[in-house]
Structure 1
Amino acid sequence: MNCTALKNYQHILALAFAVKEVNEDCRILPNITLGFRILNNYFSAQMTYKATLNLLSTEDKFAPNYRCGTQNTVIAVIGGLLAQTSFNMATLLEIYKCPQFTYGTFSPAEGEKKLFPSLYRMVPREEYQFKGVIRLLWHFQWTWVGLFAADDDTGDRFLQTMLPMLSQSGIYDAFILRTPRKTSLSDFLDLAIMLQEKYPILVERKANVFFVYGEPPSMIVLRVFLFAFNALSLPPLGKVWIVTAHWDFTTESMQRDWDVQSFHGALSFTIHANDPPGFQTFVQTVKPSWAKRDGFIQVFWEQAFDCLISTPDAGEESKQICTGEEKLESLPQTLFEMGMTGHSYNVYSALYAVAHALHTAYESKFLLKLQNIEPWQLHPFLRSISFNTSAGDPVHFDENRELVVGFDVTNWVTFPNNSFVRVKVGRLDPWASSRTALTIDDKRITWHRRFNQLISLYIYGQVLPVSLCNENCSPGFSRKKVEGKKFCCYDCAQCPEGMMSNKIDMDACVMCPKDQYPNRAQDACVPKIITFLSYEDPLGKILALLALSFTLTTALVLGIFRKHQDTPIVKANNRSLTYILLISLLLCFLCSFLFIGQPQKVTCLLRQMAFGIIFSVALSSVLAKTITVVLAFMATKPGSGMRKWVGKRVSNTIVFSCSFVQAAICILWLSTSPPFPDTDMLSLHGNIIIECNEGSTAMFYCVLGYMGFLAVVSFTVAFLARKLPDSFNEAKFITFSMLVFCSVWLSFVPTYLSTKGKYMVVVEIFSILASSAGLLGCIFSPKCYIIILRPELNNKDQLLLKKNEKI
């Protein structure tokens, strides 16, 4: 054990208190009195070996491995505070298989489990703490961290272990500073020079979190390190210090007045501790009068209270004489704490572990006389013990002889009088799942006062320190690697069009789901609007009204022709063809309604087929009427053999055959690749287009192409027959109607291909209505004009008169 630092004296008191409790408790080891012996190693390997051999020797004689005179049986050894001290002790104690309890943080060596099977660790291995630090850094999103490590073998092992863990977790070191393991006033000048060189790196504002690794001696050096800032009149650092369970406000007597404000708001993983009932009362009874039984109290008392117990030597006359009534509770907490610290609690628990193991061995009749027990015989009982301390904490070891215990996350709140408060703000449970291993209550944390003056993030009304190589990339941006810098140093790039990022510091922007699209800020996905040409849409309403109006108009024309079916103007040019054409035009206007509304399976199958076949019937009727005019004119010539072709049979054949070809194309279309309802999520930004997929585009254009072919043939025949002596010149009207029809559908193709979504449907409906209206208007409006407004012209004499005039 080491008692150079004043706070370590509490470890002695914890051991003495535990032995006192066990000896006074009749339930544990009745009629057996435990004793203890404490030796100091002075942080020296040589003294550690000597002290260990002394424990194994005959009382008052340094004769290891010999039994002579009065012999005190060493059952177990508790020590040491430092990892190297524990290794040095274990090298000798393992020869005797003597149980050894390390009460400080222990850095496991390679093969340590096999090398030292008699070693029991009261603190879980450092690896758990390192993982806890990673989780803590990620909890607060600190990715740019300064590292302090002692300039010795332990510091080397720490960096070899920690740097890969940080890198794999996306956390990087802003700098690495190696601190001396020990220092003295003679080294102060060299330390001051080094500090002036490193100061610009330490005060750099991006790295606001420092992770410190080192055992108590190097922590004392860190105090010297920070004291030098004040001595050199440099501004204080004001950072967040993160430390492992090694660390404590360990202060030597010469450092009692040194400021500890630099550590205000520090976070540490501390060994879980509780105050056993009666411990503080026991501590208050400590007096210098213990000197006969306690070889450490005089040095402790004189250094702690800066007084002398014995007669002053030359040069010490200025010091006061200790009264012996000084109060330990009056000491600064940096020198001595009344509450039991984590390391002291481990000493207390280790002593109880030995006592319970001995008690179990005694009760199991393993030994007839407990006084004859050998240290190696205690191991089976130590490995299987399980009990609760008087403070209520469970004690048992795992298969690696490690105490199954977690760590407290402690926030250190300091005050100007060098006192401090340990605030428990979380818990690290190494045996829990990765999600629940670390729990933090952010609201309880007090940060360094400097952060209240910085622009940072606010959580629960508090300022959260930021430790990043650069500012976070906000949603809508992604990280962009900067050549020559570490990965956590990056630029922010705006997300490309059509992509988004909804978290801070995303590595890459992502696409939204197909049914969503990025908002304007590109930081969220919003549902796409479902769109189709509906009756509620203004365009849908207009087209539906137009289709209904033309339908009613066609029905009216059909009614007029039916009413005047026996008049010469209706009979002329084949009355049956006129009715077929009017009915097909009526159906053309009605089929427009198949294109309005949400596409369904039935409507998708019907609308193009109905449109193609009905229009083909209409065009076939127009073609038949035109051919009828030509045949009628040729039949009037004397000796013409065309008379036999004049009649309904030819016109009906033309209508049927031309319509059949279109029907065959449509049947082939339906049997190979029929239209079906589909959704288009890509064509229009922010819209899901519900449409009819034509199935086969080639078949769709075949239907249009065939109608175009019929229209061109009809136009050509009508154009050639426009000057024939036809009654009421119907061939000329057909020519105009075909000219309108061809113009509409020639403009339809490029317009249809250049539009998207519901506007494609609008273009097709408009083309259907416009071309049908062109046929209706050009062919039937002159005849309706005569039937209704000029009935005197609708007679046979007038018909013959016009024919004769033309001839």
Structure 2
Amino acid sequence: MEGDYIIGGVFSIHANMHMVNNDYTTAPEAPRCTGRIDPRELRFSRAMVFAIEEINNSTELLPSVKLGYQIHDSCASVPMTMHVAFQLSNGYDPVYYTRHDCSQSGVVIAVIGESGSTPSISMSRVIGSFNIPQVSHYATCACLSDKKQYPTFFRTIPSDQYQADALAKLVKHFGWTWIGAIRSNSDYGNNGMAAFLKAALREGICVEYSESFYRTDSRNKIQRIADIIRRSTSTVVVAFAAPGDMKFLLEEMAKDRPPSRQWIGSEAWITDPHLMSFSFCAGAIGVAIQQSVIPGLREFLLNLSLSKVASSSVLTKFWEEAFDCKLKSSNPDERTCDGTEDIKTLLSPYTETSQLRITNMAYKAVYAIAHAIHNVVCLETNKTIQCNKHTKLESSQVLSGLKNVNFTRNSYHVSFDDNGDPVAFYELVNWQRHASGVTELIKVGYYDASLPVGQQFHINRNITWLEGSTQVPVSVCSDSCSPGTRKVLRKGKPICCYDCIQCPTGEMNNVTDSPNCYPCPREFWPNAKKDACFPKRVEFLSFDEVLSIILAAFSVSGACLAIITAAVFFHHRTTPIVRANNSELSFLLLFSLTLCFLCSLTFIGAPSEWSCMLRHTAFGITFVLCISCVLGKTIVVLMAFKATLPGNNVMKWFGPPQQRMTVVSFTFIQVIICTLWLVVSPPFPKKNLTTYKEKILLECALGSSVGFWAVLGYIGLLAVFCFILAVLARKLPDNFNEAKMITFSMLIFCAVWITFIPAYISSPGKFTVAVEIFAILASSFGLMLFIFAPKCFIILFKPEKNTKKYLMSKS
């Protein structure tokens, strides 16, 4: 259609380009399109015509200016698109200006198209050299946003960069980390899939396979890709492909029993009604251009009379293919179109206007160019718009105007950023199959790139998945690692393929699919599942333990035995055996043994600051008191024997006062050692976190190790000294000689405490305390039994031996 300003249009109306093998003996014929008409592309081109007629009838946009158009068919072929681009740039007029540049009489001021990214790239490189702006309604390749290569390219459809991000977030949202990927072997598919794989990598998604194909590939190659999909372990397949390419692949998969796969589609094919006839794809989900309403378009598309159809070769072919008749035919076997055909009853993508998406992109592209022209040739004065249709309009002026367009049409906003791209907004659509067998495209959510991060992706309706299931399918290489385990990657496999390993001892993990386990705080320990930390079990020798009860029973029994023995001795204090064995030291020894038995009780129970100081000092002092008494008794035996020798009066130097002084002196030295220990570095309670990792040992730290070993060393020194003296006196012939019993008791005492040292050092936790208590009780019982048991036996059961005559007789 002629007009004041001509807008070009390029659409893939036919399916194929007529191929000719040139023999170079004749001039090659002009390229032409052939094959069946694509009703959807025809609808795009008719929407352009509708928009131009709507603008020409408008009183607000370009009043008194008539827009014309040249619409060409590129049949999705790069050679044909290049041919059309030169036609739009040069025109058919052979007239030339007097200057050296080419004729401008037939040049369009802007171009709408092409539908594919690859043809759009080819066309942009041609018309871009002449500063002719190109506004595509369907070319989504992110590469076209590069203004250095494509400075005159604009589009009303979002870039695939946003689509790739939306698809990656869609896959991540449903927990799919193991997917297959197929793509068209074209600029659209290759660049789109590259952007998707990059976004998927950021989201932690792994790809089992990534294959490309094209509709012109051999059947063997397409069959090979179908077999890869069948044999794959991933349930989800992301397809970044053109509708024509997907048609060939799905037809190949339908020949054999198609596998159960969840298809994720790019906007190019997910809304194609032809592909929705493949029932095994029901449940497919993908991103789609926003659905829209264009008032009056349906009536315009259906307003086709036979005369109007006959005036256009394209409409003629569409009509004949749609109704299987011929407008003009000389063949009697062919049905002639008689005018009874009703296009309103035709089920075709051309008449399907309930899901207008890409059509609206073509519609908005026309209005974007019209607004750019309006801003150059029109002025508004006193609210009146004046347009000069005789203005010599250059395509570069339209190019500048397109960069600044900002308007709203039918509630849809139109503007371009610095890259010539619109604001990205996608609908999330789902193929839902009804009981009648019809698959319907349902909107289930949206993706809005203009919203803040985290709010861009939203689902607001139930989704039907593969095979009509309402449960989200699972597509993972490895099942999630539950809390308490960590991921270990499999060698040579993607990061989504891993094994789940139990957390090591002492470590936990409360996060699903964590690659690491973490140690609990020092005073905490993991539970059995190793998914939480709990306070460590505190361990000490408590009174309610069986071991503590046994030791306490022996301690109390020993103390009672010492008291009973003292009572027996006190009752028979006038008998010869009691008087002959130094009754005063015997009572003091029994008192100290009672304290020795009872001091072992201070080692039981939770250690505290006072109990730690008390248990070691009480033990050290009472044992020295005990050994001092035994030492005094041993010295008395030796001195008594020496005193029987003629002329020896040594007993006067070791009478009762000297015996008391000896006991007090030896004990006082231990008191001084203990006092220094408590002043310099006393024992204190501490939490032992190193012996056992899973529990805390409450124990008494020694404070000063020198103080502890000094106390033990002093006890050991007295015991050895006492043992030596007892050995020297063991063969004295008198019946009152108790040196033999002292020798045995000291032998037991020394043996116990010598074995105590390695046992004390090697015993862990509360058993260290138990060993110490056992040593105290064993040595105390040794003294008690060897020194006092024989005397008590004679007192109670052999009174005939408890006489002065018996004691004075020779052994």
TM-score category (smaller protein):
0.7 to 0.9
State the SS of the aligned residue for 1:444.
coil
Cα 1:668–1:51 shift into 2, 3 Å = same
Mean alpha-carbon deviation: is it higher for 399-408 or for 196-205?
196-205
Cα 1:439–1:805 shift into 2, 3 Å = farther
Aligned to 2:212: 178
Q: Pairwise mapping of residues 326-337 of structure 1 onto structure 2 (< 5 A)? A: 326-327=343-344, 331=347, 337=352
Tell me the distance in 2 between the aligned counterparts of 1:339 and 1:601: 86
Tell me the distance in 2 between the aligned counterparts of 1:248 and 1:663: 95
Tell me the distance in 1 between the aligned counterparts of 2:763 and 2:599: 21
Aligned to 2:292: 275
Tell me the distance in 1 between the aligned counterparts of 2:296 and 2:545: 83
The answer to whether the 8 A contact 1:332-1:418 is kept is: no
Cα 1:73–1:490 shift into 2, 3 Å = closer
Residue of structure 2 aligned with 1:390, choices 410, 422, 432: 410
Aligned to 1:208: 235
Residue of structure 2 aligned with 1:227, choices 247, 251, 258: 251
Aligned to 2:112: 78
Residue of structure 1 aligned with 2:358, choices 321, 337, 343: 343
CA apart distance, 1:260: 0.9
CA apart distance, 1:317: 0.8
Cα deviation, 1:238-272, whole Å, max 9, x if unaligned, reads: 21222323334547xxxx6995123222232323x
Aligned to 1:39: 72
Instruction: Verify: 1:660 aligned to 2:669, yes or no.
Output: yes
1:150 partner letter: S
Residue of structure 2 aligned with 1:422, choices 441, 450, 458: 441
Instruction: Verify: 1:115 aligned to 2:149, yes or no.
Output: yes
Cα 1:104–1:637 shift into 2, 3 Å = farther
Q: Pairwise mapping of residues 83-162 of structure 1 onto structure 2 (< 5 A)? A: 83-109=117-143, 112-152=146-186, 157=191
Tell me the distance in 1 between the aligned counterparts of 2:276 and 2:442: 22
Percent identical pairs in the alignment equals 32
Tell me the distance in 2 between the aligned counterparts of 1:540 and 1:204: 68
State the SS of the aligned residue for 1:203.
helix
Cα 1:530–1:29 shift into 2, 3 Å = farther
State the SS of the aligned residue for 1:88.
helix
Tell me the distance in 1 between the aligned counterparts of 2:332 and 2:543: 108
- How many residues are matched? 768
Aligned to 2:699: 691
Aligned to 2:5: none
State the SS of the aligned residue for 1:678.
strand
The answer to whether the 8 A contact 1:662-1:703 is kept is: no
Q: Pairwise mapping of residues 778-793 of structure 1 onto structure 2 (< 5 A)? A: 778-780=786-788
Cα deviation, 1:719-765, whole Å, max 9, x if unaligned, reads: 44345477865444444443444454455455555653334333433
Tell me the distance in 1 between the aligned counterparts of 2:104 and 2:227: 64
Mean alpha-carbon deviation: is it higher for 512-521 or for 360-369?
360-369
CA apart distance, 1:683: 1.7
CA apart distance, 1:680: 2.4
CA apart distance, 1:545: 5.2
Residue of structure 1 aligned with 2:769, choices 755, 761, 775: 761
Tell me the distance in 2 between the aligned counterparts of 1:279 and 1:674: 97
Residue of structure 2 aligned with 1:407, choices 415, 420, 426: 426
Instruction: Verify: 1:804 aligned to 2:799, yes or no.
Output: no
Instruction: Verify: 1:242 aligned to 2:264, yes or no.
Output: yes
The answer to whether the 8 A contact 1:57-1:63 is kept is: no
Q: Pairwise mapping of residues 692-707 of structure 1 onto structure 2 (< 5 A)? A: 692-694=700-702, 703-704=711-712, 706-707=714-715
Instruction: Verify: 1:600 aligned to 2:608, yes or no.
Output: yes
The answer to whether the 8 A contact 1:98-1:118 is kept is: yes
* Structural RMSD (CA): 4.8
Cα 1:199–1:284 shift into 2, 3 Å = closer
Cα deviation, 1:171-198, whole Å, max 9, x if unaligned, reads: 5443343312x33xxx7xx40x345555
State the SS of the aligned residue for 1:464.
coil
CA apart distance, 1:344: 2.6
State the SS of the aligned residue for 2:291.
coil
Residue of structure 1 aligned with 2:284, choices 257, 266, 282: 266
Aligned to 2:7: none
CA apart distance, 1:806: 4.7
Cα 1:768–1:115 shift into 2, 3 Å = same
Aligned to 2:647: 639
Structure 2: any 5+ residue segments left out of the alignment?
1-9, 15-37
1:804 partner letter: M
State the SS of the aligned residue for 2:73.
coil
1:317 partner letter: E
Aligned to 2:4: none
Tell me the distance in 2 between the aligned counterparts of 1:364 and 1:715: 126
The answer to whether the 8 A contact 2:178-2:475 is kept is: no
Q: Pairwise mapping of residues 231-630 of structure 1 onto structure 2 (< 5 A)? A: 231=255, 234-248=256-270, 250=272, 259-271=277-289, 273-276=290-293, 278=295, 282=299, 285-288=302-305, 291=309, 297-303=315-321, 305-308=322-325, 310-312=327-329, 314=331, 317-318=334-335, 323-327=340-344, 331=347, 337-354=352-369, 369=387, 371=389, 372=391, 374-377=394-397, 382-383=402-403, 388-391=408-411, 394-414=413-433, 419-430=438-449, 435-439=454-458, 444-449=462-467, 462=471, 464-468=473-477, 488-489=496-497, 507=515, 514-515=522-523, 517=525, 528-544=536-552, 546-548=554-556, 550-551=558-559, 577-578=585-586, 581-630=589-638
CA apart distance, 1:87: 2.2
Structure number with greater Rg is 2
Tell me the distance in 1 between the aligned counterparts of 2:406 and 2:540: 73
Tell me the distance in 1 between the aligned counterparts of 2:445 and 2:617: 72
Aligned to 1:455: none
Aligned to 2:19: none
CA apart distance, 1:448: 1.8
The answer to whether the 8 A contact 1:103-1:347 is kept is: yes
Cα 1:80–1:720 shift into 2, 3 Å = farther
CA apart distance, 1:599: 3.0
Tell me the distance in 1 between the aligned counterparts of 2:180 and 2:457: 22
The answer to whether the 8 A contact 2:628-2:662 is kept is: no
State the SS of the aligned residue for 2:121.
helix
CA apart distance, 1:767: 3.5
The answer to whether the 8 A contact 2:621-2:670 is kept is: no
Tell me the distance in 2 between the aligned counterparts of 1:723 and 1:46: 129
Cα 1:94–1:703 shift into 2, 3 Å = farther
CA apart distance, 1:437: 4.9
The answer to whether the 8 A contact 1:302-1:322 is kept is: no
1:462 partner letter: Q
CA apart distance, 1:646: 0.9
Cα deviation, 1:12-32, whole Å, max 9, x if unaligned, reads: 455456556667776666776
CA apart distance, 1:83: 1.7
Cα 1:734–1:427 shift into 2, 3 Å = farther
Cα 1:204–1:257 shift into 2, 3 Å = closer
CA apart distance, 1:223: 1.6
Tell me the distance in 1 between the aligned counterparts of 2:398 and 2:610: 87
Tell me the distance in 1 between the aligned counterparts of 2:405 and 2:541: 79
TM norm structure 1: 0.78
1:148 partner letter: I
CA apart distance, 1:116: 3.1
CA apart distance, 1:235: 1.5
CA apart distance, 1:203: 1.6
